[in-house]
Structure 1
Amino acid sequence: MAISRRHKLFPFLSWLPRQTRASVGRDLVVGLSGAILALPQSIAYALIAGLPAEYGLYAAIIPVLIACLWGSSWHLICGPTAAISIVLYASVSPLAVPGSQDYITLILLLTFLAGIFQWLLGMLRFGALVNFVSHSVVLGFTLGAAVVIALGQLPNLLGLDLPNQATALNSLVSLIGDIGALDKPSLLLGLGTLAVGVALKLLVPRWPSLLISLIFSGLLVWWWPSMFGHVKLVSSFVGRLPPFNPLPLDLDLVLRLLPSAVAVGMLGLVTSLSIARSLSARSQQLLDANQEVRAQGLSNIVGSFFAGSLSAGSFTRSGLSYEAGACSPLAGVFSALWVAVFALTGATLIAHIPIPAMAGSILLICWGLVDHRGIRALFRVSRAEFVVMALTCIATLLLELQTAIYAGVLVSLFFYLKRTSQPRVQQWSEGDEEILRVGGSIFFGASHYLQVRLQRTQGLKVVIEAQYINFIDYSGVEMLHQEARRLLRQDRSLILRRARGHVVEELLRLEGPEKCPIRFED
């Protein structure tokens, strides 16, 4: 009992003692690769959010530590993301000048409120939200997000300086308009890094291909300045550990930021749960959604006091963790610790990484995110689910990522309701009995379909084989009572055979056992 309670308060105690020297070593290397990827991305996302560059690093340290230690996913890595950064900027920029101290304070207060909202949802066991994201939605969202990330990296690969766009379509249009200004050395460097990464993955899949390819590209730029001397490098920065910042809990500010906090908090949860769900399906891991929701909230609550803006699951960094073979959440912990080390001591080394090389490495990660086998299997097994996957993917390309998730869930629910609204009915006659075997629930969406089937019957005794009916709601009860009375007026009868106990109770409850027009048989 005490051990179970301790594991609930400190979930990492359930997996940390099982780590071996080999698994820790593996996670240490994976964490290093993730940190190298996180550094330039975090800086870029901070600038998108209107924050100073170093605040991107802060968001990749404390929040990541908390989310990995208290979460349930083996591979989910959190941090600042493009979508979250854009929403933060849109929410707070009307209230303060971007980059100012007031602006930073509002961003951190918004993060704190969003974290409280997420944590409360987790405590209320709202993690069931992940159950509404079907596997077909996850496949489509993953495919679309991989394309979105790849399109977002193409300007860096081509040596172009283009503004960030909200959708993949806008990114593609912007890229095509400036394609003539591409820089050939940048393109060669990016493609070379991509080729080295592919070769390493094929020949020595256990090696840290991202880290090796980035080192190779950095050395190439250093050795051949006449060819690559003008190629953009990761921006240098003055490093330090995240400072502790108390937050002003002013009621007026809280009320003004609360609507935005709820919206951005929900966005972060849906994104994180979608990523965690897609990776857990591929790694055969059982995901505890409620624990993951609580961890996301706790990471943002604690992170806001250490200058960390709102964090959420990152497709790129989580995909790297999975593809590189992370053995446990320690990979994310080591990633955060490596970021902290580089923030203190490695600013000059990080500044030697070419931006096109980073783009080439991210393209390789995007390819690994796509579940090719799952997509082919979905096409063979269920065309309806394949349509859901395709529509989700298209929505991801045409809309913003968070909107695409909502669209995919709605399409999936539409197909589910369409399927359940027409329960499977087998019909045959035996003497004066006309028998209907109903497979499925009789609820408001399916009652009309079954009523039409009952009205077409001709037998003196209409028998419903009800052993496969798991659930019946008020609409179903009312419909069966109406049909039973209609048949009685025609000197016919409605019989439920082998119905389950709770179904019989619901039918008898409407008018009482004495007045119930339906007969029951075992």
Structure 2
Amino acid sequence: MAWPDRHRLLPFLTWLPRQTRASARRDLLVGLSGAILALPQSIAYALIAGLPAEYGLYAAIVPVMVACLWGSSWHLICGPTAAISIVLYASVSPLAVAGSSDYITLILLLTFLAGVFQWLLGLLRFGALVNFVSQSVVLGFTLGAAVVIALGQLPNLLGMNLPSQATALKTLQHLLEHAGEVDWPSLLLGLGTVLLGAAVKMLRPRWPGLLITLTLASLLAWSLPGLFGHVQLVPGFIGQLPPLSPLPLLDLELILRLLPSAVAVGMLGLVTSLSIARSLSSHSEQLIDANQEIRAQGLSNMVGGFFSGYLSSGSFTRSGLSYDAGARSPLAGVFAALWVTLFAVTGAGLIAHIPIPAMAGSILLICWGLVDHRAIRALFRVSRSEFLVMALTGAATLLLELQTAIYAGVLASLFFYLKRTSRPRVQQSREGDADVLRVGGSIFFGASHYLQVRLQRCQGPQVVIDARQINFIDYSGVDMLHREARRLGRAGGSLTLQRARPQVIEELHKLEGAANCPIRFED
């Protein structure tokens, strides 16, 4: 009885002992690339939140380590984000002067309260809500967020000093209004970084492309001061370890005043983090424990508030880099936090040599990698209605504020969820060498995860689904069955559908064609 309790309290014990020297070295290198990206981003986001620059670094150390060690995703990396920073500034700036000691205290107290709210949701097992978010909404949200981040980096790539805007449309409009202010050396340096990074990714995908491109761009800017001497560099800072921050937890009036904002920003952080985790898990074929992830997010913000780290959530760019660079475990995020700590204390001068246009070019490459082009094309072939939902979610992300678009996507998912049942009737039996599952209901985005779990609980590699009562299957169900069939095939087994309706077989063939379909069919 002691082992399950121990692993529940310390979930990293389930994967940490399985690490090898090779995987640890890989995660160490991935963590270094993540730290190089996190340092300038964290500083910029802290300034957006109205905080001194060093508080961005603090948010990228202790909260990141806690979230990685207590979470369930292999690739989700947390930390300060643009959306969270903007919402925090809008919530707290009316109560205190930005950057003041009172302002910092309010931000950290709000962070702690949001963490408590998130942790309680995890304890109450509200993680099932992640199953309500369809694959099409995740694809649309990821696509829109990648475009938003990319547009936000264009002023840095072009050498412009423009204020941040609330939506992508306003950012684009602001760029067009200042089109004549392009700094050509900055643009040259940024585009060179994009081309070099793309070449390294194509020719040597295992190399640390971000680290290579930023190092070469920094050396180029340093060696040609006549051409690049005016190009903006990452701001310098005084490094130190995150200091302890006492919080006014006994001030009930202040807590009640901050509570509505804490609930709103806590929900924003959870939806963002779970959306990113689910998007990455669809690539890595990893099952996410949503309740564990929610508890980890809450714990990271509760602890982070006492270590001067303001509210963190899943980061698209840093999580995308972790997956794209081949992280083997959450240890990559822990190493990234340790690298940030090392650089924050000893390497502040080196970080201040990175040109901002080169950093913007690297982020553009990461944004391109976040977009799942293959899944979008497959979604268009499998289900036009789900493709429309994806397009609407992406458009909302571009036209509305990011947090509003997230809520819109979740509501769209809930709408579709309520139209169908999420837990089809499944009767399991053993017939000969095969596990037989009789499924009584449709296989759609709300039910695919449940059915996938039932399939993976089967004892043998030969699995048969009695599909007589399956009237409907969507892209998420098609994709899940294809992945399960390939998983069973790698184990020497197979996935067979018996007595499937013609429309179900047709949908399953749309993804890869009848000739390449990994699923067997029997009458």
TM over 0.5: yes
Amino acid across the alignment from 1:114:
A
Q: 1:469 and 1:238 mapped to 2: Cα distance? A: 62
Partner residue, 2:130: 130
1:384 aligns with 2:385: yes
**Partners of 2:132 and 2:417 within 8 A in 1:** no
| Post-superposition CA distance 1:42-83 (Å, at most 9, x none) | 001111111000000000000000000000000000001111
Q: 1:468 and 1:208 mapped to 2: Cα distance? A: 50
Moved over 6 A (4+): none
Q: Using the TM superposition, give the Cα deviation of residue 166 of structure 1 relative to its aligned residue in structure 2, in angstroms.
A: 1.1
Q: 2:414 and 2:69 mapped to 1: Cα distance? A: 33
Amino acid across the alignment from 2:263:
V
Q: 1:409 and 1:246 mapped to 2: Cα distance? A: 36
The equivalences for 1:36-115 within 5 A come to 36-115=36-115
| Post-superposition CA distance 1:104-154 (Å, at most 9, x none) | 001000000000000000000011121111111000001111100000000
Q: Using the TM superposition, give the Cα deviation of residue 22 of structure 1 relative to its aligned residue in structure 2, in angstroms.
A: 0.7
The equivalences for 1:430-469 within 5 A come to none
1:320 aligns with 2:326: no
Partner residue, 1:432: none
In structure 2, the CA distance between the partners of 1:255 and 1:412, relative to structure 1 (3 Å rule), is: closer
Amino acid across the alignment from 1:305:
F
Q: 1:469 and 1:79 mapped to 2: Cα distance? A: 43
SS of residue matched to 1:406: helix
| Post-superposition CA distance 1:83-108 (Å, at most 9, x none) | 11111111111111111111100100
Partner residue, 2:409: 408
Q: 1:330 and 1:52 mapped to 2: Cα distance? A: 29
In structure 2, the CA distance between the partners of 1:419 and 1:126, relative to structure 1 (3 Å rule), is: closer
Q: 1:148 and 1:419 mapped to 2: Cα distance? A: 32
Partner residue, 1:261: 262
**Partners of 1:46 and 1:53 within 8 A in 2:** yes
Q: 2:284 and 2:140 mapped to 1: Cα distance? A: 18
Q: Using the TM superposition, give the Cα deviation of residue 239 of structure 1 relative to its aligned residue in structure 2, in angstroms.
A: 0.4
Q: 1:386 and 1:172 mapped to 2: Cα distance? A: 25
Q: 2:146 and 2:376 mapped to 1: Cα distance? A: 14
SS of residue matched to 1:342: helix
Partner residue, 1:203: 203
The equivalences for 1:177-216 within 5 A come to 177-216=177-216
Partner residue, 1:217: 217
**Partners of 1:137 and 1:405 within 8 A in 2:** no
The equivalences for 1:143-154 within 5 A come to 143-154=143-154
**Partners of 1:73 and 1:292 within 8 A in 2:** yes
Amino acid across the alignment from 1:75:
H
SS of residue matched to 2:238: coil
**Partners of 2:238 and 2:348 within 8 A in 1:** yes
Q: Using the TM superposition, give the Cα deviation of residue 468 of structure 1 relative to its aligned residue in structure 2, in angstroms.
A: 5.7
**Partners of 1:388 and 1:412 within 8 A in 2:** no
Q: 2:218 and 2:234 mapped to 1: Cα distance? A: 11
**Partners of 2:194 and 2:365 within 8 A in 1:** yes
Amino acid across the alignment from 1:24:
A
Q: 2:397 and 2:377 mapped to 1: Cα distance? A: 20
Q: 1:415 and 1:292 mapped to 2: Cα distance? A: 24
SS of residue matched to 2:72: coil
Amino acid across the alignment from 2:255:
V
Partner residue, 2:19: 19
**Partners of 2:133 and 2:414 within 8 A in 1:** no
In structure 2, the CA distance between the partners of 1:348 and 1:419, relative to structure 1 (3 Å rule), is: same
Q: 2:469 and 2:373 mapped to 1: Cα distance? A: 36
Q: Using the TM superposition, give the Cα deviation of residue 400 of structure 1 relative to its aligned residue in structure 2, in angstroms.
A: 1.3
Partner residue, 2:476: none
Partner residue, 2:2: 2
SS of residue matched to 2:246: coil
Q: Using the TM superposition, give the Cα deviation of residue 402 of structure 1 relative to its aligned residue in structure 2, in angstroms.
A: 1.7
Partner residue, 2:474: none
Q: Using the TM superposition, give the Cα deviation of residue 245 of structure 1 relative to its aligned residue in structure 2, in angstroms.
A: 1.2
Amino acid across the alignment from 1:315:
F
**Identical columns (%):** 81
| Structure 1: runs of 5 or more not aligned | 421-438, 442-466, 471-522
Q: 1:228 and 1:160 mapped to 2: Cα distance? A: 15
Q: 2:410 and 2:87 mapped to 1: Cα distance? A: 21
Partner residue, 1:371: 372
Amino acid across the alignment from 2:143:
L
Q: 1:206 and 1:239 mapped to 2: Cα distance? A: 31
**Partners of 2:65 and 2:337 within 8 A in 1:** yes
In the comparison of the two structures, how many residue pairs are matched? 429
Q: 1:276 and 1:145 mapped to 2: Cα distance? A: 14
Q: Using the TM superposition, give the Cα deviation of residue 283 of structure 1 relative to its aligned residue in structure 2, in angstroms.
A: 0.7
Partner residue, 2:31: 31
Amino acid across the alignment from 2:158:
L
Q: Using the TM superposition, give the Cα deviation of residue 410 of structure 1 relative to its aligned residue in structure 2, in angstroms.
A: 2.5
Q: 2:326 and 2:416 mapped to 1: Cα distance? A: 36
**Partners of 2:157 and 2:360 within 8 A in 1:** yes
| Greater gyration radius | 1
TM-score by length of 2: 0.80
Tell which deviates more after alignment, 410-419 or 222-231. 410-419
Q: Using the TM superposition, give the Cα deviation of residue 192 of structure 1 relative to its aligned residue in structure 2, in angstroms.
A: 0.4
Tell which deviates more after alignment, 272-281 or 398-407. 398-407
In structure 2, the CA distance between the partners of 1:201 and 1:288, relative to structure 1 (3 Å rule), is: same
| Post-superposition CA distance 1:275-334 (Å, at most 9, x none) | 001001111001000000000000000000000000000001000001011000001000
Q: 2:420 and 2:291 mapped to 1: Cα distance? A: 29
1:277 aligns with 2:239: no
**Partners of 1:63 and 1:299 within 8 A in 2:** yes
Q: 2:110 and 2:269 mapped to 1: Cα distance? A: 13
Q: 2:152 and 2:171 mapped to 1: Cα distance? A: 7
In structure 2, the CA distance between the partners of 1:64 and 1:419, relative to structure 1 (3 Å rule), is: closer
Q: Using the TM superposition, give the Cα deviation of residue 440 of structure 1 relative to its aligned residue in structure 2, in angstroms.
A: 6.1
Partner residue, 2:232: 232
Q: 2:272 and 2:44 mapped to 1: Cα distance? A: 19
Amino acid across the alignment from 1:403:
T
Q: Using the TM superposition, give the Cα deviation of residue 406 of structure 1 relative to its aligned residue in structure 2, in angstroms.
A: 1.8
| Structure 2: runs of 5 or more not aligned | 422-439, 443-467, 472-523
| Post-superposition CA distance 1:202-259 (Å, at most 9, x none) | 1110000000000000000011111101000000000000001111111111011011
Q: 2:234 and 2:193 mapped to 1: Cα distance? A: 16
TM-score by length of 1: 0.80
**Partners of 1:242 and 1:307 within 8 A in 2:** yes
Partner residue, 1:121: 121
Q: 1:264 and 1:419 mapped to 2: Cα distance? A: 30
Partner residue, 1:349: 350
Q: 1:323 and 1:114 mapped to 2: Cα distance? A: 30
Q: Using the TM superposition, give the Cα deviation of residue 414 of structure 1 relative to its aligned residue in structure 2, in angstroms.
A: 3.6
Partner residue, 2:339: 338
**Partners of 1:115 and 1:299 within 8 A in 2:** yes
